[in-house]
Structure 1
Amino acid sequence: MLPAVLASGWASGVNAYLCVVMLGLLGRLGGVEAVPEALTRIDVLIVAGIFCVIEFVADKIPYVDSAWDAISTAIRPTVGVVLGLLIAHDAPSLEQAVLAASGGATALVSHLVKGGLRLIVNTSPEPVTNIGVSLGEDVAVAGVATATVLAPWVAFSIAAVLLVLGIILLVILWTRVRRGWRRFTAWRTRRLAPS
């Protein structure tokens, strides 16, 4: 159960609605029994689908994506908790609580990494990078969500690697952005200083 909880937590931290839609469709149309029944309900799929379309569009627009990420700060980890709880429904209550918390914590970390990286990508003057990164995230979430119920250890391994790479990339890029900002402010200060 833990690999599936952590993988679905990672996926929900990046795009909660797509994760729910993928899992729900796999359970409803694909007949995958590992999918919690609550995710296969029509009302859940419709609401998640609507928000999935909204996120798909919002996530491709520079700075709108960061505003959407800010709004999603409470939503994505909460979905990670709920998915963890649904996946662990047969476990004893203490184990359910630990798994739900693990799913939420993983979702929070992946959400913060995604949000940080997207803020850095938004400093790029062209929109192609933003769209490319967003599409890459969508493909990764769809793949990890699918593997979560078909091959949980594979999904966990992929999610773990992507999370670690995301953290490393965030640290490297953030350092470069800060260095560039310091150079810019020093240049601007010299330029505006009286002669």
Structure 2
Amino acid sequence: MGIIEILGVAGSLSLLAGWRLYLTIFATGIAMHFGWLPLPDHLQSLQILANPWILGVAAVGTIAEFLADKVAWVDSIWDGIHSIIRPLGGALLALALVDSSDPAWQVVAFLLGGGGALLSHSAKATTRAVVNVSPEPYSNAVVSTGEDVATTGLLALAIAYPPVAIVIAILMLVAAVVVIIALRRLLRNIKAGLKKALGDARAEPGALPPA
């Protein structure tokens, strides 16, 4: 892989780690175990992800995350616990993909990988918090299943076609920013609506005076 492909794969894995850290590690390890993701010589340290023990732990984490993510509010608790774990995992994945002989690139990869994972994690966690307040009982499972399918499909594309990975990383980055901005506006509008409704209720004749 050339530098563009390496950066693309690193960016894609980091951003996807913000959604599904354990699935990302598990799928990448499986791809390396079966030789689906050929690595340059300086990336052979990443073969640790193909270690049976690493795969086993990642598989258990993938199953636990899959189940927790389908239950309203349990998913938000899970996201809260992983607010540090996912960005750190994304940073380490990106760090492992750059040339270890170049400290400058290592620092850049660590910071960008962690930042990308934190951004996608923030978009996911905020979206799920908004979905959880919906009285409709199935929306949480539908959104979670969509994330599972999207993560699996994008991982497969990034691993099978490294040149496409840079496009995936850019699209995910833009999507995360758009989602966060849209959700912030939505929450701001909801807060303003609640404040207005409370003010109107207090202004009604016979309403209790404000404390």
Establish whether TM, by shorter chain, passes 0.5: yes
Specify the alignment match of 1:79 in structure 2. 89
Matches within 5 A, 1:11-160: 11-34=16-39, 36-89=46-99, 91-160=101-170
State the structure with more CA Rg.
Answer: 2
Q: What's the secondary structure of 2:136's corresponding residue?
A: coil
In structure 2, runs of 5+ residues without a counterpart are 1-5
Specify the alignment match of 1:167 in structure 2. 177
Kept in 2: contact 1:77–1:105 (CA 8 A): yes
Q: Which stretch shifts more, 136-145 or 43-52?
A: 136-145
**Matched residue count:** 195
Shift of 1:89: 4.5
- TM-score normalised per structure 2: 0.83
Shift of 1:73: 0.8
Deviations 1:102-140 (A, max 9, x none): 211111111111111111111211232211211121122
Shift of 1:187: 2.2
- CA distance in structure 1 between the aligned counterparts of 2:35 and 2:136, rounded to whole angstroms: 39
Kept in 2: contact 1:18–1:48 (CA 8 A): yes
Q: Which stretch shifts more, 95-104 or 85-94?
A: 85-94
Distance 1:91 1:106, change over 3 A: farther
Kept in 2: contact 1:8–1:144 (CA 8 A): no
Kept in 2: contact 1:79–1:104 (CA 8 A): yes
- CA distance in structure 1 between the aligned counterparts of 2:95 and 2:135, rounded to whole angstroms: 42
Shift of 1:18: 0.6
Structure 1 letter corresponding to 2:208: P
Shift of 1:98: 1.8
Q: Which stretch shifts more, 116-125 or 162-171?
A: 162-171
In structure 1, runs of 5+ residues without a counterpart are none
Q: What's the secondary structure of 1:48's corresponding residue?
A: helix
- CA distance in structure 1 between the aligned counterparts of 2:183 and 2:91, rounded to whole angstroms: 29
Q: What's the secondary structure of 1:72's corresponding residue?
A: helix
- CA distance in structure 1 between the aligned counterparts of 2:193 and 2:107, rounded to whole angstroms: 48
Structure 1 letter corresponding to 2:74: V
Distance 1:156 1:31, change over 3 A: closer
Kept in 1: contact 2:36–2:159 (CA 8 A): no
- TM-score normalised per structure 1: 0.89
Shift of 1:31: 4.3
Kept in 2: contact 1:17–1:48 (CA 8 A): yes
Structure 1 letter corresponding to 2:19: V
Structure 2 letter corresponding to 1:194: L
- CA RMSD in angstroms, aligned pairs only: 2.1
